[in-house]
Chain A
Amino acid sequence: MQSTGPDESGHFGRFGGRFIPEALVAALDEVETEFRKAMDDPAFAAEFDAMLREYANVPSPLYEARRLSAEAGARILLKREDLNHTGAHKIRNVLGQALLVKRMGKRRVIAETGAGQHGVATATACAYLDLDCVVYMGEVDTQRQALNVARMRLLGAEVIPVTTGSRTLKDAINEALRDWVANVDDTHYLLGTAAGPHPFPAMVREFVAGIGREARAQSLETVGRLPDAVAACVGGGSNAIGLFHAFEPDPDVRLYGFEAGGKGVESGRHASRMSVGAVGVLHGARSYLLQDEDGQTIESYSISAGLDYPSVGPEHAWLHDTGRATYEPVTDAEAMAAFGLLCRTEGIIPAIESAHAVAGALRIAPALAAELGREPVIVVNLSGRGDKDVQTAGTWFDVLDEGAVQS
């Protein structure tokens, strides 16, 4: 593991830590201890690796998108996490944590989900490894994402609609934390992103860091050198930290994270925590968050459910403060334009989350080309596929026939 943080008490500079009820400290200590032991155990690494290869279709290819590159004025290499089993990078994290659950001898797994992608991934891992699975999902989201609710049930999970607060992702996390406090003896909380209390940000990063390790080696192989920049979308931040981590020690590789700019940062309808948020504490960690003057959480907004979260993983807050990574907002409109372009030039329908990363790469390409005096190489994490977003995109581009089936 790279020694880029966190420190022993789980802090990335002033960020991270553990802002949680005392009742959870023992469980977090247990997760941390078992995780460290697993990391030192070649058998764990071998088993995780085999699961990823045989079951999850990892390593994912690094694909040179030639027609998109021509449009972008940059050599764009797409890290095809959309080709993984369940269609996103998330399978890496859930398989890693589920394997750890087996090691800890626990039987019950709980998870939160927004649009349902992490819920489906968790239900998948639990079916695969014979674990009981309960997924908390905001009631509003269960209605918006009925097909994902059905997917989770098909995979044997129980889906519990959350009816408190705003009835969306942040409330699903609150409810999962409440469940965990009450059932911590036999239950693991399989958090879906590189956020939350220590050791989750460091542990989730480790499980998804293959994205960057593979992309780094594949870039050397494909273009004979490291990329000039890597780009990812940032919701909670797991796909981005998974891509960034292997490149952090490479000073010439620029790290770009693209947050949801929603309807524009000035509209107040966005999830641009690092552009306009302030430092605070939510869901167990100190980071940047959307909050009002009093410290009450402000609800975020994005056309993309996976980026629609009022806080962000603490390591991103730290990379933002240190200047090692650059974070910019990408609006719904910019993301959808990139979505359409990728569909038409490459025959790839991306997740709308990932379309934010493509849009960001298109934005930074001209300045980067000017700075370098040559065509830049940019690795873009195509973190997920867009099947789940066809309804949204179809409506956006007005290509849905009337009476088309609701997804």
Chain B
Amino acid sequence: MSGESSAQSASVAFGKARAEGRGTLVGYLPAGFPSVDGAIEACRVMADAGVDVIEIGLPYSDPVMDGPVIQRASEQALAAGFRVADVFRTVEAVAATGVPTLVMTYWNLVERQGAASFARDLASAGGAGLITPDLIPDEADDWLAASDEYGLDRVFLVAPSSTDRRIAETTAACRGFVYATSVMGVTGARAETSDAAPALVARVRAAAGPDSVPVGVGLGVSNGAQAAEVAGFADGVIVGSALVRCLLDVEPATGRAALRDLTADLAAGVRR
């Protein structure tokens, strides 16, 4: 167990927020966008503006769970020559802020390197763990073993269409938190939050029992008001596309200013 991650689990950040009587804010940005250093800089802005947990997306050629905003950012990162190894440098720099830092990745990029090798590199970079949108626990034997060996969080997804049995099993397989997708769909900001989300969170809590990992709700949240609403029934609020959009098609400095404002708005939202 010598390789065990020195990073704090995301659950520590959730616990701290809960002790303060508020929701946890989880912010997503892709690595390598607009550049490797630009992404690190942007993550630091989020950390500075009050985000509790950072998810770093690993750009992939075939991101089936992502909507247009994250697809475009990922395509730009890949076109600029982003390599998977760059994510470990990114994690190392971002985790140095003290904010628990996870990587969100499609499975093939991990499988290509080997789950154990990937887990080792992530742990030594100070990463907290992985969020895996196209890996279900049924197919995750290698990752369950590797994440155990290196003491990493493993965040699987549950959906409104999941049966109670799957919700219980998937949540039990999670460490750090469980990612509840609020709507049936891909990533992207939506005008209104979903009415399926409170029901899903309630089902997770009922199915997983009192010792359940915290529940984060993602897909569609884009402003402080929506964050406040979601924080009213879930442990955490996960925001991706709205943050990424701050950085699309603008000068980096302008983008970071918008990112700072939105993060602050969201951070205020989870404290309402």
Contact = CB atoms under 8 A, between A and B. Distances in A.
Interface of A: 9, 17-27, 164-165, 170-171, 174, 177-178, 181-185, 278, 280-284, 286, 291, 293-297
Contact of B138 (A18, A286, A291): A18
Interface string B54-90: 0000001111110110010001001000011000000
A278 B181 CA distance: 32
B65 A282 contact: no
A25 B112 contact: no
A25 B75 contact: no
A25 B109 contact: no
B95 to A, nearest CB: 22
Contact of B139 (A18, A177, A178): A18
22 contacts: A9-B138, A19-B136, A19-B139, A22-B136, A22-B156, A23-B159, A23-B161, A23-B181, A25-B159, A26-B162, A178-B67, A182-B183, A182-B185, A281-B134, A283-B62, A284-B134, A291-B112, A294-B112, A295-B111, A295-B112, A296-B61, A297-B61
Interface of B: 60-65, 67-68, 71, 75, 78, 83-84, 107-113, 133-136, 138-139, 156-163, 166, 170, 181, 183-186
A281 B108 contact: yes
A281 B60 contact: no
A295 B109 contact: yes
Given A165-B71, A177-B64, A182-B185, 11 more contacts: A18-B138, A19-B108, A19-B139, A21-B64, A23-B181, A25-B161, A178-B185, A182-B186, A185-B184, A282-B62, A291-B108
Contacts of A284: 134
B157 A21 contact: yes
Given A23-B184, A291-B112, A294-B84, A184 B62 contact: no
A405 B163 CA distance: 54
Contact of B64 (A9, A18, A174): A174
Contacts of B183: 182
A174 B48 CA distance: 35
A167 to B, nearest CB: 11
Contact residues of A: prevailing secondary structure = mixed
B216 to A, nearest CB: 14
Contacts of B110: 295
A20 B134 contact: yes
A106 to B, nearest CB: 14
B136 A296 contact: no
A185 B113 CA distance: 36
A182 B67 CA distance: 11
A181 B134 CA distance: 12
Nearest to A284: B134
B78 A296 contact: yes
Contacts of A171: 62
A295 B170 contact: no
Given A18-B138, A20-B134, A294 B166 contact: no
- The 3 closest A-B CB pairs, nearest first, are A295-B112, A23-B159, A182-B185
Nearest to B157: A22
Nearest to A278: B112
Contacts of B184: 23, 181-185
B84 A174 contact: no
B111 to A, nearest CB: 6
A319 to B, nearest CB: 21
A127 to B, nearest CB: 28
Contact of A184 (B64, B111, B161): B161
